[in-house]
């Protein structure tokens, strides 16, 4: 039967993972965004937002979920319109793939209402248009893992080639989100425009080492490879207390610590849930002492599912 209404979920993501700028990302279980969508007789999109977060655009011309939904309706031309509500749980400018989660949840919802839904893999291009709309960059390291789940390597952008990567199930991801905002456009604007060859070679080695370490669960290799010698030094100054938080995480037993996406969230990798709780406490305490800010904590194993349908009601 054809669904009449549907609710979808798209999870947050950690991108870059240290050295993998724009090419590495992983999905976590929380937070994330929800979309509720229903068919309507009138063509086009009726859009609303439900959120406790600040600075979330209510205007469909400025909201990325509405933008993605309208792109799909324009291209696929269904015989109906859609009434959509974005339930925005993720803060904007968090470094957790907020725009990607909204885009992916919207694309999933529209797709589920179609008479002949597209394959999940065909939805990625719509989500990437959402990233371009939001921050001016067509990067897939948040959208791909949010859509597909697990870890993703963006091997190429032209042509787009997304490769799933294995992540040892014993590893635990910690994200500490301080209550400050760093907009992706601003974080990208300060990145270096040229890179010394020596730094590039070190970075390439770290990316390869990290992918291998995550797959093997090789803790020593992960420790050596979560090192960003190019982007982290530029972006760290946008995050008050970052250096102190990183030192606290590593001292508490983290296998690695760096900036999640464009920040201000900071992620760590822990060898167990017990270790993750100790590390997260050290990180939030350090943020409070060094920068005078409170933080939210998210602890999660790798989300292997990605975007999903929460419920559907058939016509």
Q: Given 3-state DSSP classes, what are the helix, strand and coil percentages for the chain, each rounded to the nearest 5?
A: 40, 30, 35
Choosing from 8, 13, 134, 184, the catalytic residue is 184
Q: Look up 281 and say whether it is catalytic.
A: no
Q: Which long-range contacts (CB under 8 A, 24 or more apart) does 195-198 make?
A: 195/230
Element (H, E) at 266: strand 266-270
Query: How far is residue 117's CA from residue 284's CA, in Å, rounded to a whole number?
Result: 43
> Residue 194: how many CB atoms within 10 A of its CB?
4
- Comparing CA positions, the residue from 233, 226, 13 lying closest to residue 140 is 13
- Respond yes or no: is residue 8 known to be catalytic: no
Q: Which of 13, 112, 129, 131 is catalytic?
A: 131
Token pair listed for 223:
């420790």
**31 Cβ contact list (under 8 Å, min separation 6):** 11, 12, 89, 90, 96, 298
Q: How many residues does the chain have?
A: 315
Are the C-beta atoms of residues 263 and 239 closer than 8 Å to each other? yes
Q: Which residues are catalytic?
A: 131, 184
């Amino acid at each position: 039967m054809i669904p009449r209404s549907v609710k979808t979920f798209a999870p947050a993501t950690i991108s870059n993972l240290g050295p993998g700028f724009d090419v590495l990302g992983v999905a976590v279980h929380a937070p994330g965004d929800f979309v509720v969508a229903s068919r309507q007789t009138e063509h086009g999109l009726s859009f609303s937002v439900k959120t406790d977060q600040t600075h979330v655009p209510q205007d469909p011309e400025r909201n990325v979920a509405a933008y993605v939904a309208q792109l799909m309706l324009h291209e696929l031309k269904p015989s109906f319109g859609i009434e959509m509500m974005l339930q925005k749980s993720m803060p904007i400018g968090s470094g957790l793939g907020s725009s990607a989660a909204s885009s992916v949840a919207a694309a999933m919802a529209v797709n589920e209402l179609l008479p002949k839904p597209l394959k999940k893999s065909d939805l990625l291009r719509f989500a990437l248009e959402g990233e371009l709309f939001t921050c001016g960059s067509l990067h897939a390291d948040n959208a791909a893992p949010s859509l597909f789940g697990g870890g993703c390597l963006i091997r190429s952008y032209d042509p787009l080639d997304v490769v799933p990567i294995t992540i040892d199930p014993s590893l635990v991801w910690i994200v500490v989100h301080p209550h400050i905002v760093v907009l992706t456009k601003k974080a990208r604007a300060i990145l270096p425009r040229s890179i010394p060859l020596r730094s590039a070679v070190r970075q390439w080695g770290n990316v390869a080492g990290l992918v291998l370490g995550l797959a093997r669960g090789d803790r020593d290799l992960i420790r050596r490879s979560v090192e960003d010698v190019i982007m982290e030094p530029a972006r760290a100054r946008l995050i008050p207390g970052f250096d102190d938080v990183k030192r606290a995480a590593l001292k508490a037993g983290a296998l690695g610590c760096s900036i999640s996406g464009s920040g201000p969230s900071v992620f760590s990798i822990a060898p167990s849930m017990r270790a993750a709780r100790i590390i997260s406490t050290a990180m939030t305490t350090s943020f409070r002492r060094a920068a005078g800010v409170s933080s939210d904590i998210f602890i999660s194993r790798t989300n292997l599912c990605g975007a999903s349908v929460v419920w559907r009601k058939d016509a």
